[in-house]
């Protein structure tokens, strides 16, 4: 259980960062040096990856993060901070969740193959 602490702390920190990035007033400083849609995808990929490694149930983590993606767009639209909700940003968020989860699964698979050693993986029976 101890090994899950760091991903959980980082997940909480990145969630807080995402709230600041996604809900700050428009024009509140220098524009970010990356396209907004790319930022959405990368941010949610990182959230999904950390959520994957948190040890919490994957479906619950992804459902919560998808809910946050939708809520952030609705809040941007309704908070009156000069921001607007964008369906393309929501799509980028969901794509980021899929990519982050796929990356986590791929890393887990590589780790398990490495632990199995030569001749012990699924290709050994071929």
Give the span between the Cα atoms of 40 and 34, in whole angstroms.
10
What pLDDT sits at residue 112? 92
What token pair was written down for 96?
């980021």
Across the 126 residues of the chain, what is the mean pLDDT of every consecutive 10-residue run? 84 97 80 84 98 96 98 94 91 98 96 82 53
What pLDDT sits at residue 122? 57
With contact defined as beta carbons under 8 Å apart, do 86 and 47 qualify?
Answer: no
For the chain, the structural domain boundaries read 2-24+36-113
* Burial label, 45 (beta-carbon count in 10 A; 0-12, 13-18, 19+): buried
What pLDDT sits at residue 121? 55
pTM (two decimals): 0.85
What pLDDT sits at residue 68? 98
What pLDDT sits at residue 10? 97
CA trace torsion 83, 84, 85, 88 (10° rounding): -110
What residues contact residue 113 under an 8 Å CB cut-off, 6+ apart?
121
């Amino acid at each position: 259980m101890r090994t899950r602490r760091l991903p959980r702390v980082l997940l909480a920190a990145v969630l807080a960062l995402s709230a600041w990035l996604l809900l700050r007033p428009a024009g509140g400083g220098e524009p970010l040096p990356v396209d907004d849609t790319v930022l959405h995808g990368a941010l949610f990929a990182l959230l999904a990856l950390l959520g994957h490694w948190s040890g919490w149930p994957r479906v619950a983590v992804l459902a919560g993060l998808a809910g946050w993606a939708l809520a952030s767009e609705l809040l941007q639209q309704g908070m009156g901070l000069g921001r607007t909700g964008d369906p393309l940003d929501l799509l980028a968020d969901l794509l980021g969740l899929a990519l982050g989860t796929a990356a986590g699964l791929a890393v887990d698979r590589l780790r398990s193959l490495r632990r199995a050693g030569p001749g012990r993986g699924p290709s050994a029976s071929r």
